[in-house]
Amino acid sequence: MMSNENGYRTAGPDYLSPLTPEELDERLRAIRHVALDMDGTIYMGTTLFPYTIPFLEGLKARGIGHSFLTNNPSRSIADYLQKLSGMGIQATREEMYTTVVATIDYIRTHHPAARRLFLLGTPSMRAEFEAAGFVSTEDDPDDVPDVVVASFDMTLCYARFCRAAWWIAQGVPYVATNPDRVCPTDQRTVLIDCGSICAALTHATGRQPDVTLGKPDPNMLNGILDRHGLRPEQIAMVGDRIYTDVAMALNASAFGVLVLSGETTMEIVAQSEVKPHLIVNSIEVLGRLLREVHEP
């Protein structure tokens, strides 16, 4: 049960909005595409939420497109497609937007001569860069990279961690794939994510990343708008993190939906300066609200 607090003007038992009921209906009626965060939004860890497939089927029935976005760079696109397929979701490469894709695009644009990368990331993540034509340098002071890329690394090796710090301290261009402090999980542990890894590197070197990609940077969402010929008000960004998912939506002038099925709680909402256009318990609630405004 939600309470109507902190300036939220429209409330139901499982949703809140700072918009008036009329404004909320108008915004929802304009939606033609839904960009979905993954972990904490459509599944948790290895468990698909029971309402995810009906939600996707409901979007299709109403002619609303969808894409999957993730700040988790530890898997390749092929890995994500395989994971989704194993959960019963058939997706295509064109429907996937990851921070690895965003980082590859950034390096090609801002460091066009770069070919050799020191990649602090999983083997799957490194394979995605290598498939794009980059070379992964070794933990060797003579194997000099053009760019250091730090990411969420569940295979983190202390020696490579130290080597990354060394190259960062030497002034090599330094890119972080995403700002997330932790990764959502259904296991009894804390998965330390890229933002926390970079915090350690900053503490060791005194240097921040030159750029931190992924959400809340609006580039991934802008890519979807360009691909589908959409205006910002026609896309809803849906996710469980107020400081990445919702912040990206607002940065891109899109409709920001926060789900409470993952990391964020209403206590976090109360402390945040970021105000979602809509807060729902889950995408199941969003599906119901979309159905109500799109059907006579």
- CA distances, 16 to each of 40, 45, 269 (Å): 19, 26, 11
Least confident of 44-53, 148-157, 220-229: 220-229
Contacts 24+ apart (CB under 8 A), 43-48: 43/87, 44/184, 44/185, 44/186, 44/261, 44/262, 45/184, 45/185, 45/186, 45/187, 46/186, 47/186, 48/87, 48/88, 48/89
Give 5's pLDDT tier (boundaries 50, 70, 90).
low
What letter does residue 137 receive in the DSSP assignment? P
| Closest to 292 in 3D by CA, of 34, 9, 31 | 31
| 1 band by pLDDT with thresholds 50, 70 and 90 | very low
Query: What count of Cα atoms within 13 Å lies in the side-chain half-sphere of residue 167?
Result: 29
CA distances in angstroms from 47 to 52, 73, 248, 254, 295, listed in the order given: 11, 19, 25, 28, 31
Fold match, 14-71+215-256+280-294 / 102-212: yes
Residues 188 and 204: their CA atoms lie apart, in Å, by 29
Q: Tell me how crowded residue 74 is: count the other CB atoms within 10 A of its CB.
A: 24
Q: At 143, is the pLDDT very low, low, confident or very high (cuts 50, 70, 90)?
A: very high
pLDDT tens-digit readout, 161-204:
999 999 999 999 999 999 889 987 878 999 999 999 999 999 99
- Which option is the CATH number for 14-71+215-256+280-294: 3.90.1300.10, 1.20.120.80, 3.40.50.1000, 3.20.20.140? 3.40.50.1000
CATH number for the region 102-212 comes to 3.40.50.1000
The mean pLDDT of 52-76, rounded to a whole number, is: 92
For the chain, what percent of residues have pLDDT higher than 90?
A: 76
Residues 6+ apart with CB under 8 A from 138: none
Q: Name the pairing type of β-strands 182-183 and 191-192.
A: antiparallel
Domain extent listing, the chain: 14-71+215-256+280-294, 102-212
* Predicted model pTM: 0.77
C-beta separation of 97 from 37 below 8 A = no
For 61-198, strand residue ranges (E) read 65-70, 96-98, 116-120, 135-136, 147-150, 174-176, 182-183, 191-192
